[in-house]
Homo-oligomer: A and B are copies of this chain.
Amino acid sequence: MGVWPARVSIREVGLRDGLQSIATIVPTTQKCEWIAGAHRAGMREIEVGSFVPPRLLPQLADTAAVLTFAKTLPGLFASVLIPNLKGAERALEGKADLMILPLSASQAHSLANLRKAPDDVVAEMAQIRAARDASGSRTLIEGGIGTAFGCTIQGAVDEAEVLRLMQALLDAGADRVSLADTVGYADPASVRRLFEKALRIAGNRFSGGHFHDTRGLALANTVAALELGVTRFDASLAGIGGCPHAPGASGNATTEDLAFMLEAMGCRTGIDLRALLALRQHVVGWIPAEPTHGALWRAGLPKTFAGIQ
């Protein structure tokens, strides 16, 4: 059996993947409060927004301001999503620690959501890498491969195609690559199968996993990835975000439940769970109309819990 890693990073993506999927617009001051609270609770990686055109995602129109705030917090590694070269230029200007270029391995999903074929995104990665290098910036570039386990439009996504695109992104200059189960189609066996091959291709340039809990398997899938030595996982506080394809269903893995599982397992996250649960309650209060998810907040920590408290 695999040995679980001693240290694991959770990257909070609720401010991007979460907020972009709900109607409520959270004001900049509250976003900054969220980031400061997560940082106080021990989180050190936060995706603070997305440099997409504000007319497409008004919820994230303040990403530059939020990034500026995030950069004031010591030791915080702030990332942003970028849809293209233009977004990358804004991320470089804002001195993001990391910019994530999403690529959808499903041709159909890519055309429907990004209006580009996957290989066009690979070409954009090369331009972004050139721009980053020309700027002398230290901003890292991650290629985030979505619909890696299938897609609600085209159904199956060929594993070989996912791996081909991963290699292409690395060849085009991505510093890191990650795999996302955008629609909740993964299971522990498919995670083990695909991640094992991905690790062989990307080695220590493999960044981590982004699991959605649409069908309740986000944590089970995490266990399968942990066994392969994967040490970074995306999650959203209170599971904020939902799934656009399944009304009422969960979207991202829930940060506090994931952190609880990891800490209980002895995989250190650096997160103070009591502080994180208090932050959850605070943030949930800002979006009363939105569905939230997760189990730990109801039940509380076990009496036997030995993590940071």
Chain A positions near chain B (C-beta within 8 angstroms): 1-2, 4, 150-152, 155-156, 183-185, 187-190, 192, 213-217, 219-220, 222-224, 227-228, 243, 245-250, 254, 257, 260-261, 264-266, 294-296, 298-300, 302-304
Q: Are B222 and A219 in contact (CB under 8 A)?
A: no
Q: What residue in chain B is nearest A216 (Cβ atoms)?
A: B295
Q: Are A303 and B2 in contact (CB under 8 A)?
A: no
**Chain B residues, CB < 8 A from A250:** 295
CB distance from A250 to the nearest CB of B (A): 6
**Chain B residues, CB < 8 A from A190:** 264-265
**Chain B residues, CB < 8 A from A243:** 299
Q: What residue in chain B is nearest A150 (Cβ atoms)?
A: B304
Give how many copies assemble into the complex: 2
Knowing A1-B192, A227-B1, A265-B187, say if A249 contacts B216 (CB, 8 Å).
no
Q: Are B303 and A216 in contact (CB under 8 A)?
A: no
Q: What residue in chain B is nearest A187 (Cβ atoms)?
A: B264
**Chain B residues, CB < 8 A from A302:** 150, 183-185, 215
Knowing A220-B223, A223-B188, say if A215 contacts B249 (CB, 8 Å).
no
Complex CA gap A214/B295 in Å reads 7
Q: Are B298 and A248 in contact (CB under 8 A)?
A: yes
**Chain B residues, CB < 8 A from A223:** 188, 220, 223-224
Q: What residue in chain B is nearest A188 (Cβ atoms)?
A: B223
Among A4, A155, A296, A299, find the residue whose CB has the most chain B CB atoms closer than 10 A: A299
Q: What residue in chain B is nearest A149 (Cβ atoms)?
A: B304
**Chain B residues, CB < 8 A from A257:** 215-217
**Chain B residues, CB < 8 A from A227:** 1
Complex CA gap A86/B2 in Å reads 46
Q: Are A189 and B295 in contact (CB under 8 A)?
A: no
Q: Which of B2, B155, B216, B260 contacts A215 (CB 8 A)?
A: B260
**Chain B residues, CB < 8 A from A296:** 215-216
5 example contacts (A-B, Cβ-Cβ < 8 A) are as follows A1-B2, A4-B188, A213-B295, A214-B295, A249-B295
Q: Are B188 and A261 in contact (CB under 8 A)?
A: yes
Q: What residue in chain B is nearest A156 (Cβ atoms)?
A: B304
